[in-house]
Chain A
């Protein structure tokens, strides 16, 4: 069995990649993808702890999270699509008309 530290380290690395992406990119679709990466990092954690403790509940959670992530992507991409239609860009730094 793979030691849990390795799995958690992988998960943390994946999360850090997603976070770095979010903090640096200006492209909306990339930001969405980064969110997905961070969600998957969380999923890996859930599965890892589930396997470690011998409780299947965590894996059930992970499946739910994947389903919700799918829905979230659908909403997110629809938002980006519409933003592109109205503003002609998906640059998130340009999409600031709602502030103040």
Chain B
């Protein structure tokens, strides 16, 4: 049976995975309203087909010789040739692509099914919704199977477009001014423009890479000889290019300082938030870093920068979740924080690999590869529990009609399935032992600590980052359970009383499935998930893997050994303790009401409270920068356009019109004038001829 599957040759047709949702986008877009649910079933079919293709292709690839030999599956078509450069369009499948394809299509499938219940009342607008989410899935799947950076960038931008369209789903009007927190249109615009800032950086980085490498194909770039030559020839340009590429990831994955679009993106439907946070969009940035890992590790400085950005984002955004009263916003901040973990893990892992290469230390390379695998692992786990949490919050919002947790409470009795699945998701994200978030978060923290404990020259940075990670773990446990207790425990408040009970089956069924994964996906560590994730690095940087073989074998290739090592580390117990303390405090404050939360702030006017509630004034800073800098530049450009460019064009036209007017004045309309001029002309000619004859002496 399984051999027959391998023989199907789906791998050759893996491009169907992004193509089928694209076709569903076209079909749902044109004919959605003629089908039931406004094209919902078409979108579900697309996601299901994409998932089946991804599953079969992944299975075939993992079973193939190429996988065990550490080679990618690559098929390219020549697309554009100009000068010395050739651009291709094709697929590049390694374990990273497989993992991304699988969870993106699977979670999208569940979200689409959930949408049938959640978006039921939207009428004709459903057509647009299902067409756009299908295109969104196309963007993500295309992104992960792309064979080169340019193709990836195209799908990257498709996702940017879809996020814009979907965040602004409720309307593109500005009825109440331009305040981004208040309306969907501004939130959509903000998401688009802020991520665009990152995209510009990425594009600039890609130009430099193309110039240095002469190609943007992964296969052509990830070769030791080539990378060594390029790095040696461009000691300055190379790190700059990589920092710019990381700038793209900062924008897409909403890292500090471009993090502020993500909370505002909550203006869209909750299913869209789930899609953006769990399956697509923000995972794109982390994927970019993971995909470019062989290039990133060439520069320890850039990797340190990546780790710092990740660590700072993790703690910085977690604080904002502490006092927010909007159930979706809390989840949005937690996404930012968890993304920070992933970036921190990749950054610290890359730093270890870079240092290991410099010193020839196999141990460090092994730990670095573990960091990479941990980052990917956390991305997968996060996808499951964050999709669960968002869909759960959508179920609550669907039932109560509000997003304000102050108006909820006591929903646990009315919505049993939602409350239990949400509890499982919260336990998972908080890192409660043996839930999925626990495994990957612990590995991330271990990776963050490793450079510090090995004395590599940036100990203070990594000690700090590790401490930030620990604090974040504590805060995560606190704010997640604060959210859970406020929503589901205690006495029902205003809107909870009006709640119309549990959501329909199409909504609870995905919740149950996702909760199974949110609890269990971490157990993949025992199925050597880390080893499978690291295979992607075998493909991309075989030379480093060979150099670090000893360390890698020890740290990555045996899941049970990794777990044993994890429980032999004292910090694991500290993290568990912090998690439990966070949960206990949340329970004491918000469930038992042992302390009144109001006691800690002075009529909402505490300086710290205000600072956090205003998101550290990041929206203000964005506005100031865009008003002072952006509007200034725009004004100068506008002036140049209107005065210089238009002035030149209009000036020439006016000069010609004026000259024409002046010359036309000679047409007096008096016949005698014309006759006089004719006579004068004849006389002049006659004189000239006579003179000419006289001077030359006749004919």
Contacts and interface: CB of A to CB of B under 8 A. Distances in A.
A41 to B, nearest CB: 14
Nearest to A35: B675
What does DSSP make chain B's interface, helix, strand, loop or mixed? helix
A92 B670 contact: yes
B679 A19 contact: yes
A6 interface: no
A96 B668 contact: yes
Contacts of A92: 670-672
Contacts of A98: 669
A3 B487 CA distance: 130
Contacts of B675: 19, 22-23
A92 B675 CA distance: 12
Interface residues of B, number: 11
Contact of A93 (B665, B670, B679): B670
A23 B672 CA distance: 5
B669 A99 contact: yes
Contacts of A97: 669
A58 B405 CA distance: 114
Contacts, number: 32
Interface centre among B667, B670, B671 (most CB of A within 10 A): B671
A3 B458 CA distance: 123
Contacts of A99: 667-669
What does DSSP make chain A's interface, helix, strand, loop or mixed? loop
The size class of the interface chain A forms with chain B is 10 to 19
A64 B619 CA distance: 93
B551 to A, nearest CB: 93
Interface string A64-100: 0000000000000000000000000000110111111
B175 interface: no
A75 to B, nearest CB: 15
B664 interface: yes
B102 to A, nearest CB: 79
Contacts of B676: 23
A97 B670 CA distance: 10
Contacts of A93: 670-672
A31 interface: yes
Nearest to A25: B672
Interface centre among A26, A92, A99 (most CB of B within 10 A): A99
Interface in B655-678: 664-665, 667-672, 675-676
B680 to A, nearest CB: 11
Contacts of B665: 100
A95 B668 CA distance: 11
B663 to A, nearest CB: 11
Contact of A100 (B664, B672, B679): B664
Interface in A1-58: 19, 22-26, 31
Nearest to A92: B671
Contacts of B670: 92-93, 96
B186 to A, nearest CB: 56
16 contacts: A19-B675, A19-B679, A22-B671, A22-B672, A22-B675, A23-B675, A23-B676, A23-B679, A24-B672, A92-B670, A92-B671, A97-B669, A99-B669, A100-B665, A100-B667, A100-B669
Given A23-B679, A96-B668, A100-B667, 12 more contacts: A19-B675, A19-B679, A22-B672, A23-B672, A24-B672, A25-B672, A26-B672, A31-B671, A96-B669, A97-B669, A99-B667, A100-B669
Closest 7 CB pairs of A and B: A96-B669, A99-B669, A92-B671, A99-B667, A22-B675, A100-B664, A23-B672
